[in-house]
Amino acid sequence: MVSSRRFARTIGLVIVLAAFALVSTEARELTLEFQFNRMNRIASNQIAVWIEDSSGHLVKTLFVTDFTARKAGYRRRAAALPVWVSVYRPGTHPSKEVDGISRATPKSGRVTISWDGTDQSGRTVAPGAYVLHIEGNIFWENMVYFSVPLDVGATPFSFEARPTEGSADPTADLPLITEVRVRYLP
C-alpha cells in the first residue's frame, strides 16, 4: 500500500514534469505573408516556399504549387521552379508526401504561410541559422526569388524581405510576389 504522502509527492512530480515538458516543447511559429498577383498568362504563377539549414540542406517545403509538384510540371516545363526542384527533387518522394505540401495556385491577394519549426519528418528543429526561400515563376524563365536568413531561437523578429539580387524586380510590370513580411515568435 502506498502512503498518501508518497502518492501526493509522486503526483506533484508528475505535474511538474508535465508542465516542464509543455514549456520546453512549446511550438515556434514563423509566419510569412506576401501579396500574390496572379498573372493571366501561360508559363507563370508557380511558387514554392521552403526552409533550409545553414548548410543548404532542405529542412521542409512549406508550399509548392500543384502544377509543378504534383502534376509533374517540373518535367514538362523545367523553368517552372528550378531552384526548388533542384533542392527537393520531387520525383524521388512518395506521392503522399508531395500531396501534403502542394496546393492550388492562390488567387490574387494576401497569402499567409506558416512554419511550426519542424522538419519534413515532423521533428522540432534545433535553434540556429536557417534560410527561408521563396521562388516565383513570373513568365517562362523570368523569376522572382527571395533568400532570407533566419535566426531561429528565443528572440522574436519581424521584417520585410527584399528579392535576392539578380531576380526579377517585383515592382516592375510583372509583380508576382510583393510585400513579403516575415514574423517569428519563439
Q: Tens of pLDDT along 15-50?
A: 333 333 333 345 689 999 999 998 887 888 899 999
> What are the cell numbers at 127?
535553434
In Å, what is the CA distance from 13 to each residue of 6, 19, 20, 31, 155? 11, 10, 10, 36, 30
DSSP type of residue 124: B
Closest CA to 135 of 49, 51, 63: 49
Q: Exposed, middle or buried: residue 33 (CB in 10 Å: 0-12, 13-18, 19+)?
A: middle
What percentage of residues in the chain have a pLDDT greater than 90? Answer: 49
Encoded amino acid at 38, one letter: R
| Dist. CA 135–CA 145, nearest whole Å | 5
Chosen CATH of 27-185 out of 3.30.1600.10, 2.60.40.4070, 2.40.33.10, 2.40.128.20: 2.60.40.4070
Which stretches of the chain score pLDDT less than 50?
2, 4, 6-25
Pairing of strands 58-65, 102-103: parallel
Predicted TM-score (pTM) of the model is: 0.80
